[in-house]
Amino acid sequence: MHLLRTPDSRFEGLPEYPFEAHYTEIDSGEGEALRIHHIDEGDPHAPIVLCLHGQPSWSYLYRKMVPLLVELGLRVIAPDLPGYGKSDKPAAREDFSYQRQVDWMGQWLATNDFGDITVFGQDWGGLIGLRMVVDQPHRFSRVVVGNTALPINPDLDLAIVEKVMQFRTDGQRLSFPQMARALSRLRGMKADPSAFPMGFAHWQKFCWETPDMPAGFLMEMMVSRPATWKVAPRVLLNHIFGTSLPPLSPLGRAYEAPFPDPTFKMGPRAMPSQVPTLPTDPSVEAQARAWEFFDRFDQPFLCLFTGDDPVTRGMERIFIQRVPGAAGLPHQVFDRGGHFLQEARHIEISKAISDLIKHT
């Protein structure tokens, strides 16, 4: 396995990110030492909040929540998934799978021997974090999820499966506007499990077929609503002409920092295609076993979602209906906040996590 490591100089002077770096080496599964970075802030004897990010972000996404949670008396651990942030970045597509991320982060967790954890997972942080709870339940006391899912779609018509697979592999390059329009029309998997896989396939296809996937641009678009219309035309120009454009702001530069050049972006490019939206996906059996576990999970399970995220809207209802530990808890669905709710709803999320720990 060929591993890339982002130079430390890429992370110098990032706004609102003064945190000390901590590193753990695990076995990549192919003999190499894979280095994973994490933040560790707060009283080392305080209850642990494990904050897991998704794609294409990194632990920088939690920079606003970390000081709030520490002020509330908690210890915050925020790792970067392999392929993201300050962690090592496997360079080949086949290096990335859902199971491998679960296994890598499970190794990282066991090596650090963290326990009595309240985990908060958003986007891929939820998909991976929930599976970590299944694999090592003795380490977790509470679960909080935001704008994420434990996706499984076993009854999808095979004709739709074939249509999605043909679309994802037809060799036709997808334009940025086509991708954006398809995502804007999504209503969540729960609302329409038949239409969701094709809509989400636009994101999967765009990420994979864009070697220099503009992570900084995309994050700025999704977290800075006033900048959306200024960012979109420049991303489109980048997509059409292949020009290298700098991010628009310090925020964009921070989210682009882990990726000095396109070779470092295999994780953000490959991971969307690993989301199990089809019954033929390789992780379906593991997802089914995970749901068997959570159908019996009676520890506190809190949902904090936003109503304006087209990808995960409505998914909180599945957790609330199925997970016994969700009963009677003060779940919240914020009207606004976008997909990356840690940026706009950091105060509300931090307080909800703190209150959950205090009251349980």
Q: Give the catalytic positions in this structure.
A: 123, 309, 339
- Report the alpha-carbon distance of residue 220 to residue 339 in Å, rounded: 12
Query: Among 139, 108, 118, which Cα is nearest to 38's?
Result: 108
Q: Which amino acid would we find at residue 39?
A: I
What φ, ψ does residue 101 adopt, rounded to 5°?
A: -65, -40
Distance set, CA 304 to CA 314, 329, 332 (Å): 11, 11, 5
Q: How far apart are CA 158 and CA 279, in angstroms?
A: 9
Residue 54: CB atoms within 10 Å: 24
- DSSP string computed for 105-123: HHHHHHHHT--SEEEEEET
Listed residue (190, 154, 169) closest to 279, CA to CA: 154
